[in-house]
Amino acid sequence: MKAVLGLEDGTFVIGEGLGVEGIVQGELVFTTQYTGYEEALTDPSYKGQILMFTYPLIGNYGISGETFQSNCMQAEGLVVREACDHPSHHMSKRSIYEYLKDEGKSGIMGIDTRMLTIKTREHGTMKAAIIVGSDDGKEAVRLAREQEDIGKLDLIGKVTCKRPYQMKGQKDGDNIVVMDFGVKRNIIKSLNNRGVNVTVVPATTPVKDIMNYEPDAILLSNGPGDPQQAVNGISVVKELAGQLPIFGICLGHQIISLALGAQTYKMKFGHRGANQPVKDLERGIVYITSQNHGYAVDESSIDTKEITITQYNTNDKTVEGLKHRDLEIMSVQYHPEANPGPLDTEKIFFDRVVETTKKIKVMVK
């Protein structure tokens, strides 16, 4: 089945269709991870984006569903050089071809993903469109250009939970409220594994409703889009700062930064992959981290009298970690829960979340 991918700059490439016939629109982004495509495709942070893998062969171990990070495919579409139609793994239940069809999603393969990656790296992310069932490049370009910029879309509203739910840890465990801006399942699992009782609430939940759960701490999750769209999240952090420990991951890190007076900006092509090196300035150690974000905190806007920069990306010196000097507020830009990716920081981050929460709980009592 023929297919075409068009970019807003007028570029189009013709290839072979994946999934169902139809039209896909979104921001074209690339990830450098070799494996973990199940986790990536179901990561809510990819909402509104067409995900392109730089690794040339995707799908060779099939789809098991065991590592899904949400209940559906979140990426708008898929772009690969080659997709494996005969996967080999004892846990595989279906091929990536079958998965896209089951999800009602579309993609394209058999195209020069290296060229598209270099173009994205040199010129920045672009709006894109895929048409499966057609090779009309001009129409694909038109569809790419006509869509609204991703920063103006309410993507958080599309991925946040509709109502609160709880995931129990231990009977006597601490209670942490997770604000769901597009939370990955492994964040909740990492907390549950440490005995934490987690209450997940929608992104629009007001402070008074959050406090009804009698939380010992608040964690702001990852999610898609521009952090400035998370108006309620920013308000919650401002109101609860100093009352409870507050933690943030990825988008949550950016929301906390905005609440503390810093600014964020859209990166040229972002960080997406499982091999981003981050230096911990407190320990003098470099970690390899999993990342998926297109926005970052502007270092020049940070009030260093109140906020300490704890971690940097060693590739481009972007801010990867912050903590407040006087209040129990800590956040990281990367994904310590991984899935996919290395677990270098999983124990360090989540152990600190639990230790800080317990410490403040004892002090309050």
**Residues with catalytic function:** 250, 335, 337
CA 161 to chain centre: 16
Which residues contact residue 345 at a Cβ distance below 8 angstroms, ignoring those fewer than 6 apart?
278, 287, 289, 332, 334, 336
Give yes or no for a contact between 176 and 196, defined as CB atoms under 8 angstroms apart: yes
> The tokens of 322 are what?
């912050």
What is the DSSP secondary structure assignment for residue 181, as one 8-state letter? Answer: S
Q: How many CB atoms lie within 10 A of CB 138?
A: 11
Helices (H), the chain: 37-41, 96-103, 113-123, 137-146, 156-159, 185-192, 207-211, 231-240, 251-259, 346-364
Which residues contact residue 121 at a Cβ distance below 8 angstroms, ignoring those fewer than 6 apart?
268, 269
CA distance 153 to 47: 10
* Residue with the two structure tokens 């399942």: 185
Helix, strand, coil percentages for the chain (3-state, nearest 5): 30, 35, 40
* Residue with the two structure tokens 């010992």: 216
DSSP-assigned beta bridge partners for residue 266 = 295
Using left for φ > 0, alpha for ψ between -120 and 50, and beta otherwise, residue 22 falls in: left
